Amino acid sequence: MSLLEVRSVSKQFGGLTAVDDVSFDVFEGAIKAVIGPNGAGKTTLFNILTAFDRPDEGRVSFDGTDIVGQPPQRIVRAGIARTFQNTQLFEEMSTHENVMAGAHAVTRAGFFGAALRLPWTVREEREVAEEARRLLRLVGLEEWADTPAADLPHGLRRLLEIARALATRPRLLLLDEPAAGLNTAETASLADALYRIRDRGTTILIVEHDMGLVMEVSDEIVVLDRGAKIAEGPPRLIQKDPAVIAAYLGEEDLDEL
Q: Which of 6, 24, 43, 131 binds ligand ATP (CB under 6 A)?
A: 43
For position 41 contacting ligand ATP by CB under 6 A, the verdict is yes
39 vs 140, which CB is nearer to ligand ATP? 39
Q: Which string of b and e fits 154-165 if b means at least 16 CB within 10 Å?
A: ebbbbbbbbbbb
257 close to 245: Cβ distance less than 8 angstroms: yes
160 vs 217, which CB is nearer to another protein? 160
Which residues in 183-248 belong to E strands, given as ranges?
A: 203-207, 220-225, 228-233
Q: Which of 18, 81, 172, 174 binds ligand ATP (CB under 6 A)?
A: 18
Report what 39 binds from ligand ATP, another protein, Mg ion, none; CB cut-off 5-8 Å by kind. ligand ATP
**Whole-angstrom distance, CA of residue 223 vs CA of residue 249:** 14
User: Is 94 in a helix, a strand, or coil?
Assistant: strand
Site string for Mg ion, 65-104 (x = CB under 5 A): --------------------x-------------------
**Whole-angstrom distance, CA of residue 41 vs CA of residue 195:** 26
172 close to 80: Cβ distance less than 8 angstroms: yes
241 close to 223: Cβ distance less than 8 angstroms: yes
* Binding stretches for another protein (CB under 8 A): 50, 52, 71-73, 76-77, 81-84, 88-94, 96-97, 100-107, 109-111, 114-117, 121-122, 124-125, 128-129, 145-146, 164-165, 167-168
- Distance in Å, CB of 124 to ligand ATP, minimum: 37
256 close to 239: Cβ distance less than 8 angstroms: no
Report what 88 binds from Mg ion, another protein, ligand ATP, none; CB cut-off 5-8 Å by kind. another protein
- Interface residues toward ligand ATP, by CB under 6 A: 13, 16, 18, 36, 38-44, 85
